[in-house]
Amino acid sequence: MATPALLCPRVAVLRIALLLLLIACPQPASSAEKVTLALNWKAQPELGGFYQALAAGHYKDRGLDVTIRVGGPMINNRPLLPVGKADFLIGTNLIPAFDVVKQKIPTRFVAAFFQRDPQCLIAHADGPVKEWADLKKAPLMLGAPGRHSFFLWLESAHGFDRSLIRPYNHNLAPFLVNKGWAVQGYATAEPQRVREASGAEPRVFLLADNGWQSYSTVLETRQDLIDEKPELVQAFVDASIVGWYEYLYGDAATANELILAENADMTPSQIDYSIEMMRKWGLVDSGDTLEKGLGAIDGHRVASFVKTMTKAGLYKEGEIDPTDSYDDRFVNKGVGLDRRDELLLEAPTGP
């Protein structure tokens, strides 16, 4: 039998050999980083690019384990971001991003996925409202958020009359029976509802076609995440950009299955209509995105919109420093443009 004195050198040699083997062999990749994206509304095609990035594995490929947390009429996800319960948040437009600057909350938007706000005013096809100027004389159904945001601009820039505002709680019935009325809506949704209810294609007036320069569907995150984990922010932005290209121009079936599963009120026909309108109006892919890629941010445009809303009375002069509302280091790099070209080449050109 060998003595302990003879075994010790052998054990030491084995341990050294094992250590060298561990160093030489590639180690398993670290586990994916958990990330939560909080939405501003229910699952819908207007948020489809994020679902596509999840379904196609673009987040996973970049080391992210993403959970999407839906919003809704009774769910306000905004407080989750600054307290760390969410890592990214979808903002409706630029006004909430300016409001957090006013409140000195350390968050910024890092991508603008809708270059043109889908907010619109809708009138009857056979009513007296024929063009934008006619809207100033029409009773206008507005929800409370609209009265305290874009209507201030309608009033200051276009002379709309506050006395003509009528309450709107997503019930179209008063609008449908009053041919001379108008109603607020999203160009990707309400026009179809009006068409289905009235049997006629309504007139749609996009605010973005009449001077409203706000971005929409902006991606917000915390300043500490930008400072401490910029590579995570970049990975999330890049994956979302590719997801949006594929959702607009590729096969979005799996993403749409996720949307339908999470939103019982959504229908395949509504999804098809929304995607069609996003393309038609150039809501996501237009202007700066054609050269800089989706999510592009123009600091001059942000500063101009601060001036617009200051003139409209929403902010005091000098109250908002626009550069405190965004960080454009993660966009404007042309990410995904090659994927866009591939998808457009693959798209059918006709029957």
Mean pLDDT across 331-349: 92
pTM of the model: 0.90
Mean pLDDT across 135-158: 95
pLDDT band with cut points at 50, 70 and 90 for residue 31: confident
Q: Is the pLDDT of residue 15 over 60?
A: no
Mean pLDDT across 104-117: 98
* Token pair for 284: 């996501």
Q: Is the pLDDT of residue 351 over 80?
A: no
pLDDT in tens, 175-219: 999 999 999 999 999 999 999 999 999 999 999 999 999 999 999
Q: Is the pLDDT of residue 123 over 50?
A: yes
Mean pLDDT across 324-329: 98
Q: Do 309 and 163 share a domain, yes or no? A: no
Q: Do 290 and 257 share a domain, yes or no? A: yes
SS3 per residue for 193-237: HHHHHHCCCCEEEEHHHHCCCCCEEEEEEEHHHHHHCHHHHHHHH
Domain boundary among 195, 210, 225: 210
Secondary structure letter of residue 264 according to DSSP: T
Which of the residue ranges 77-86, 231-240, 340-349 would you say has the lowest mean pLDDT?
Answer: 340-349
Q: Do 58 and 127 share a domain, yes or no? A: no
Residue 169: CATH number of its domain: 3.40.190.10
Expressed as residue numbers, the domain containing 62 is 33-116+214-346
Q: Alpha-carbon distance 87 to 70, whole Å?
A: 14
Q: Do 155 and 296 share a domain, yes or no? A: no
Q: What's the CA angle centered on 71, arms 54 and 202, to 5 degrees?
A: 95
Of residues 192, 211, 167, 202, the one with CA closest to residue 46: 192
Q: Do 240 and 106 share a domain, yes or no? A: yes
* Token pair for 334: 């042309």
Q: Do 232 and 90 share a domain, yes or no? A: yes
Q: Is the pLDDT of residue 17 over 90?
A: no
Q: Tell me, yes or no, whether 74 lies in a domain.
A: yes
| The predicted structure's pLDDT at residue 145 | 87
| The predicted structure's pLDDT at residue 22 | 36
pLDDT band with cut points at 50, 70 and 90 for residue 30: low
Q: Tell me, yes or no, whether 7 lies in a domain.
A: no
Q: Do 218 and 245 share a domain, yes or no? A: yes
Q: Do 47 and 104 share a domain, yes or no? A: yes
Distances (CA, A) of 308 to 61, 157, 250, 259, 313: 41, 9, 37, 35, 9
Q: Tell me, yes or no, whether 184 lies in a domain.
A: yes
pLDDT band with cut points at 50, 70 and 90 for residue 29: very low
Q: Tell me, yes or no, whether 295 lies in a domain.
A: yes
Of residues 278, 273, 207, the one with CA closest to residue 49: 278
Q: Do 283 and 315 share a domain, yes or no? A: yes
Mean pLDDT across 289-318: 98
Q: Tell me, yes or no, whether 1 lies in a domain.
A: no
Domain boundary among 148, 180, 210: 210
Q: Alpha-carbon distance 222 to 86, whole Å?
A: 9
Q: Do 185 and 204 share a domain, yes or no? A: yes
Of residues 111, 78, 65, the one with CA closest to residue 242: 111
Q: Is the pLDDT of residue 14 over 80?
A: no
Q: Is the pLDDT of residue 3 over 80?
A: no
Mean pLDDT across 32-43: 97
Q: Tell me, yes or no, whether 145 lies in a domain.
A: yes
Q: Tell me, yes or no, whether 71 lies in a domain.
A: yes
Q: Do 205 and 253 share a domain, yes or no? A: no
Domain boundary among 178, 210, 242: 210
Q: Tell me, yes or no, whether 28 lies in a domain.
A: no
Q: Do 95 and 201 share a domain, yes or no? A: no
Mean pLDDT across 238-257: 98
Q: Alpha-carbon distance 231 to 163, whole Å?
A: 50
Q: Which residue has the higher pLDDT, 71 or 347?
A: 71
User: Percentage of residues in the chain with pLDDT exceeding 90?
Assistant: 87
Q: Is the pLDDT of residue 13 over 70?
A: no
Tell me how many domains the chain contains: 2
**Residue listed under structure tokens 């958020």:** 145
